[in-house]
Amino acid sequence: MRVGFIGLGVMGRPMALHLQRAGHELAVWARRPESIGDLPARVCATPAELGRCCEVVFTVITSSADVEAVALGREGLCEGMAAGSVLIDCSTIAPDTARQVGTRLAEKGIHMLDAPVSGGAQGAIDATLAIMVGGEAEVLERVRPLLNCLGKRIVHVGPNGAGQVAKACNQMIMVAAIEAAAEAMRLVTASGVDCAKVRQALAGGSAASRVLDVMGERMVRRDFSAGIEARLHHKDFGLVLEAARQSGVPVPLAAVVDQQLNALMAQGWGRDDTSSLLRVLEKL
Amino acid sequence: MKIGFIGLGIMGRPIALNLIKGGHQVTVWARRAESMQPLLDAGAKGAASPAEAARGNELVISMVADAPDVAEVMRGVASAGESGLVAVDMSTIAPAAARRIGEDLAAAGIDFIDAPVSGGEVGAIAGTLSIMAGGSDAAFAKAKPAFECMGKNIVHVGASGAGQVAKAANQIVTGMGVLAVAEAFAFAAKNGVDSAKVREALLGGFAYSKILENHGQRMLDRNFKPGFKSWMHEKDLNIVMQTAHELGLCLPGSAATAQMFNAMVGSGLGEEDSIAVLKLLESLSGQA
């Protein structure tokens, strides 16, 4: 199948390569052509041109505005994609934007799935991403073989936007857990106890978690180089709080965690791992 | 002075009336024609558009709901081609949005002042609003006679956007202030102590504030009629939190307060006064 790909960053590039290795013909467009590098792919001049030559297009880009521009803007995908073709947006954006873009594309008969992922750069490289999908079930079934090249757990969450809701919840839980781990580590150190031992002890009990495992380890080693760039979690928390506000749902813990992320950004640690939340506590 | 006035809601109507009482020639425009009638009866001229409200005037003032509304009416004002005009917006919007609107107007040769107010409907009617202005000295000097018809405490805070920064700061203090008084009263009640007596005792000390005095009394009276609707306070705190997010500024108290107001809107208390946060506290602690 001819598959289009937009967004060749730390997540997108390994994902695109998996599709290519699985025997699909790859076409790409990039805002900065140098980011394409030596990727074996047909290079298109505009998203519209990419859309014209592909049955399925993936996007993995940063912000709601970027997705809107690439999908609906001038020379955007919707000017090129044929009726019946599918846009799979793996970016993390606002559920509202996902719904709006889906509706606009549907007017031209183009299908859209919001399919944000969790698992980080390592998950993208290992093709073990968790993929949370919003959109029509039969459209998902059509493209499931492609998603199987990228991830292990592919869940149809609900209609358009539902994938992004799931991703927002993923970020809420994950970053709150990082903050909890950081606070625990801070308390342990202040009490004159060895963090590594505590982490080891906790790993066997009810507080065990992937976050305590991975981020806790980074905190113990004081290795704050990325991992997951904290600025992306900060961006996602903007989406989480806006979604909560629109629904009139109070999220007191997420709101406080967002303030810790604001402090993290102010310290200039946005490109470090989110385990830097420990360093924010040490500043207080 | 010849003044155009745009937006005749709860706040805009009494402000425009005070300008007429102050001897200014006022031309009004509002989206709903019927809201213009009381002003026409008081001697104002009616305009058919924001552009017409600007044309031939030295000053044009807007008092509308939200940033997109301000941007829209100011686009109309700019289209009037009245260079040398001073445009004043008294709505509460994000500082960044005010700065953008100021830049757009500057391109049309129009000087812009953001001048949000505090004091509510009561202050607007009495002409005792607090006015926090951002913009150039020259533009502020030109608008000052108009401000003096509507407010008492008029402060030129700084450059474009500075008025909105001050208003956002005002909403931080009032939002947390209302929550603090409500929590103090819930604390007293749960301890079996009379909140009215606690208020009386506190008024003499360092916890004295206008909010403890006025809002506190209304809490005791269980008078939740707005006043200042809690959905509007929620909107203003959202401006605070979004600005903090963009700047990388840690505001834990404001964040917790914003979530309480978010919960008020979600649980159907949005149309009540912001002091209804007391009801939310009571229901959380089984005091309702």
Q: Which domains can be identified in chain A, with CATH numbers? A: 2-158 (3.40.50.720), 165-283 (1.10.1040.10)
- The string of pLDDT tens digits covering residues A235-266 is 999 999 999 999 999 999 999 999 999 999 99
Q: Within a 10 A sphere around the Cβ of B194, how many other Cβ atoms?
A: 11
> Could you tell me which chain B residue has the CA closest to the CA of A264?
B248
- Residue A127: the pLDDT is 96
Q: Please say whether the beta carbons of A98 and A161 come within 8 A.
A: yes
Residue type, B173: V
Q: Please say whether the beta carbons of B168 and B95 come within 8 A.
A: yes
Q: Please say whether the beta carbons of A248 and B266 come within 8 A.
A: yes
Paired with A11 in beta bridges are: none
Helices A252-266 and B230-247 cross at an angle (nearest 10°) of 30
Which helix H or strand E contains A143, and what residues bound it? helix A137-148
- Catalogue the active-site residues of A: 167
**H/E/C letters for each residue in B80-91?**
CCCCCCEEEECC
- Residue B75: the pLDDT is 97
CB contact under 8 A, A248 and B266: yes
Q: Please say whether the beta carbons of A258 and A274 come within 8 A.
A: no
- The string of pLDDT tens digits covering residues A103-132 is 999 999 999 999 999 998 899 999 999 999
CB contact under 8 A, A256 and B255: yes
State the pLDDT confidence band at A204, using cuts at 50, 70 and 90: confident
Q: Which two tokens stand for residue B96?
A: 């960044």
Q: Which residues of A touch B (CB under 8 A)?
A: 234, 237-238, 241, 244-245, 247-252, 255-256, 258-260, 262-266
Q: Strand pairing of B117-118 and B129-134?
A: antiparallel
- Measure the N-to-C terminal CA separation of chain A; round to a whole number of Å: 54
Complex-level ipTM beyond the 0.90 threshold? no
Residue type, B185: F
* Cα(A14)–Cα(A125) distance, integer angstroms: 5
- Residue B214: the pLDDT is 93
Paired with A42 in beta bridges are: A27
A-contacting residues of B 206-245, CB under 8 Å? 234, 238, 241-242, 244-245
Q: Within a 10 A sphere around the Cβ of A227, how many other Cβ atoms?
A: 18
CA angle in degrees (0–180, nearest 5) for B236-A232-A203: 110
User: For residue B212, what is the DSSP state?
Assistant: I
CB contact under 8 A, B262 and A249: yes
Q: Please say whether the beta carbons of A28 and A3 come within 8 A.
A: no
* Catalytic residue chosen out of the listed positions B45, B152, B167, B225: B167
The closest of B66, B157, B151 to B117, measured between CA atoms, is B151
- Residue B45: the pLDDT is 96
Between the alpha carbon of residue B11 and those of residues B119, B145, B254, the distances in Å are: 10, 19, 26
Q: Which one of B247, B251, B262 has the shortest CB-CB distance to A250? A: B262
- Residue A223: the pLDDT is 96
- All residue ranges of chain B with pLDDT < 70 are 288
Q: Please say whether the beta carbons of A229 and A272 come within 8 A.
A: yes
Q: Please say whether the beta carbons of A7 and A59 come within 8 A.
A: yes
Helices A252-266 and B252-266 cross at an angle (nearest 10°) of 150
Chain B residues with CB under 8 Å of A249 CB are 262-263, 266
- The string of pLDDT tens digits covering residues A57-75 is 999 998 999 999 999 999 9
Say if residue A51's pLDDT is above 90: yes
Q: Which two tokens stand for residue A77?
A: 């995908």
- Residue B83: the pLDDT is 84
Residue B209 burial (C-beta neighbours within 10 Å; 0-12, 13-18, 19+):
middle
- Residue B93: the pLDDT is 96
Q: How far is B125 from chain A (nearest CA, A)?
A: 32
- Residue A228: the pLDDT is 84
CB contact under 8 A, A262 and B258: no
Q: Where do the H-state alpha helices sit in A191-251?
A: 195-202, 210-221, 230-247
- Residue A5: the pLDDT is 96
Q: A139: which residues sit within 8 A by CB, 6+ positions away?
A: A86, A111, A113
Backbone angles phi, psi at B221, to 5 degrees: -75, -5
Q: Which one of B250, B265, B266 has the shortest CB-CB distance to A266? A: B250
Torsion of CA B271, B272, B275, B276, to 10 degrees: -100
Which helix H or strand E contains A280, and what residues bound it? helix A277-283
- The string of pLDDT tens digits covering residues A146-157 is 999 999 999 999
Chain A residues with CB under 8 Å of B234 CB are 245
State the pLDDT confidence band at A203, using cuts at 50, 70 and 90: confident
Between the alpha carbon of residue A27 and those of residues A10, A13, A36, A76, A115, the distances in Å are: 18, 12, 11, 15, 20
Q: Which two tokens stand for residue B71?
A: 């941007």
Q: Where do the H-state alpha helices sit in chain B?
A: 12-21, 37-41, 50-54, 67-79, 95-107, 120-126, 137-150, 162-190, 195-202, 210, 216-220, 230-247, 252-266, 277-284
* Cα(A168)–Cα(A238) distance, integer angstroms: 10
Q: Please say whether the beta carbons of B259 and A247 come within 8 A.
A: no
Q: Within a 10 A sphere around the Cβ of A216, how many other Cβ atoms?
A: 28
- Residue B13: the pLDDT is 96
Which helix H or strand E contains B45, and what residues bound it? strand B45-46
- The string of pLDDT tens digits covering residues B60-106 is 999 998 999 999 999 999 999 888 899 999 999 999 999 999 999 99
Say how far residue A279 (Cα) sits from the centre of its chain. 24
* Cα(B91)–Cα(B110) distance, integer angstroms: 18
Q: Which two tokens stand for residue B132?
A: 């926090």
pTM: 0.85
- Residue A282: the pLDDT is 94
